[in-house]
Amino acid sequence: MRTLIVILLTAAALVRAAEPLEARWDGTVQIPGNELHVVIDLAKNGGPNNAGQWTGSAIVPGYGVKGAALTGIVVRDGGISFTLKGALGEPKFSGRLNPDGSFVGDFLQSGNTAAFRLLKTGPPQVDPPRQGSAVGKELEGEWQGEMVLYGNKVKATLKLANQPTGAATAQFIVVGKRENILLVELVRQEGDWLLVDVPQYRMTFEARWRKDTKELAGTFAQGPMETPLVLHPAAK
């Protein structure tokens, strides 16, 4: 009997210790004229080296945001705040749990505020942080090409460089009526395929390295918009 009581008390303690915010949350941000659908995953690590550390990721359907990391997660006095890193202008969520179990609060972006309301739909499915990689020696350097962007012909330049840390960095420059230098967050090469990601502007360049023609042939995308882009080594 005593053993049974201990087991029941232990189980009850575990239930009480469960984190109510640790879940997948699905709902909307009430931006005037443009309701935003978001999915937020929040989890609390329990390993020996990171016990008590919160992690999270976000999905924003229709905006090319999938697995974007949540940073600066702070849980205090029943409230929680975090920043969506590298997408949508890096907005901040600041909210709390309602008595009805919903997660509500404010979505803050570029000085503007909108209300959000999310509902728990299941256990968290936090995407691990994406890792960049080095690129082959044949891809290091400057690449140039042209593409049609929103009906206008623009010039594109991609500069790739491997770093001592083992991952490559990149600079993506698009020149139309003016020059735009895009902040590349991730460069990754897998076989002959190259990915260059600019999540802040929902832009990606995915291309295949063609050894026979010495070119990077692929697609430049911004959200749902896609256009072909072929880059060649810059003249030296």
**Do 137-233 and 19-122 fall under one CATH topology?**
yes
**For the range 196-201, what are the long-range contacts, defined as Cβ-Cβ under 8 Å and sequence gap of 24 or more?**
196/158, 196/170, 196/172, 197/130, 198/172, 199/64, 199/65, 199/68, 199/86, 199/87, 200/86, 200/87, 200/89, 200/90
Superfamily of domain 137-233: Calycin beta-barrel core domain (2.40.128.20)
Confidence at residue 51, expressed as pLDDT on a 0 to 100 scale:
54
Confidence at residue 17, expressed as pLDDT on a 0 to 100 scale:
39
- Residues forming beta bridges with residue 116, ordered by sequence position: 29, 105
CA dihedral 221, 182, 207, 213 (to 10 degrees): 130
d(CA 99, CA 113): 23
Q: Mean pLDDT per segment of 10 residues, for the chain of length 236 residues? A: 41 48 96 92 70 87 84 91 88 95 95 96 90 93 95 95 92 93 90 89 91 96 89 89
**Can you give the residue ranges of every domain in the chain?**
19-122, 137-233
Domain 19-122 fold? Lipocalin (2.40.128)
Confidence at residue 235, expressed as pLDDT on a 0 to 100 scale:
84
Where are the alpha helices (H) located in the chain, listed in sequence order? 2-17
Q: The pTM is what?
A: 0.63
Confidence at residue 46, expressed as pLDDT on a 0 to 100 scale:
57
Confidence at residue 103, expressed as pLDDT on a 0 to 100 scale:
97
